[in-house]
Amino acid sequence: MVGVLKPVWAYRAFILGAVRRDFQLKYANSLLGAIWNVLQPLALIVVFTLIFSQVMRMRLPGSDHAYSFSIYLCAGLFAWNLFSEITTRSQGMFLEYSGLVKKLSFPRLCLPVITVLNSLINWGIMMGLFFVFLLVTGNFPGWVVLASIPVYLILLAFAAGLGVVLGTLNVFLRDVGQFFAIVLNFWFWFTPIVYPKQVLAETLQEWLVLNPMASVVEALQGIFLLGKMPHWGSLLYPLLTALFFCVAGVYLYLRNVSAIVDEL
């Protein structure tokens, strides 16, 4: 694995240049430019707060705080958006950058790194605004927020590994991207993001253990809403799943790297 990633590190200037170029192209013909990166997540937070917390007066079981449901929703949804964006963009990364793949010689594993970094820019802006919201409303969890770092690293590893698997398969079978879009919709609703898992029947709650994103989202919601450390044992399954897909993704890519270029 180190031998595979070492060439990627050698091309770090190429990766950063590609990320910067993609960011600039995204807002090339926009009047507000990068300001949209701030306005969009800000609008989400405002909508969640006004609609769910103030208008609908939704409350979590055992919590009477006015902003509890809004914090719960933001913590879960922002994590899911990061996972969804990485996997969705990764499944088409070889096709999107086909011109570079066919014309330039560089480690093709630079592409998932570029995809992850592009997604992290949007996520970082959303989380920055979320932190401001927590501070303004007096709900910042304090030092325990640092516990979210390893949780997010598990999420990134899982999303990147799964993304490489999907991206490689999608080169040879374009139905993969369409099928995963359907799976992602069902996956979202099988993850307790817009509802607490306590509303589910006990049999369905037992099935949630098979969903690695459920444990990741639950850990982040506990950190930001309750200010409590995650139950690290519950993250062992997501960690092992992430490692499996990382290894499987690299193996599948290495087995088919020449065929990918020929297919494109």
- Residue 190 per-residue DSSP state: T
Could you give the C-alpha distances from 243 to 131, 151, 199, in angstroms and in order? 29, 14, 31
Q: DSSP 3-state assignment of 93? A: helix
Helix (H), strand (E), coil (C) string for 98-142: HHHHHHCCCCCCHHHHHHHHHHHHHHHHHHHHHHHHHHHCCCCCH
- Residue 27 confidence (pLDDT): 61
- Annotated domain spans of the chain: 2-263
Integer Cα distance of 202 and 87 in angstroms: 30
Contact 27, 125 (CB under 8 A): no
Report residues of the chain scoring pLDDT below 50: none
Directed axis angle between helix 110-136 and helix 12-26, to 10°?
60
DSSP classification of residue 198: G
Q: How far is CA 130 from the centre of its chain?
A: 16
* Two tokens, residue 167: 């991206």
Task: Write down the pLDDT at residue 45.
Answer: 67
Nearest to 45 by CA among 80, 81, 84, 78: 78
CB 71 within 8 A of CB 134: yes
Which of 242, 244, 192 has the alpha carbon at shortest distance from 218? 192
Q: What is the mean pLDDT of the chain?
A: 83
Query: Is residue 260 exposed (0-12), middle (13-18) or buried (19+ Cβ within 10 Å)?
Result: middle
pLDDT of residue 46: 72
Q: What is the pLDDT of residues 110-154, one digit of tens each?
A: 888 889 998 898 888 888 888 988 998 888 988 999 999 999 999
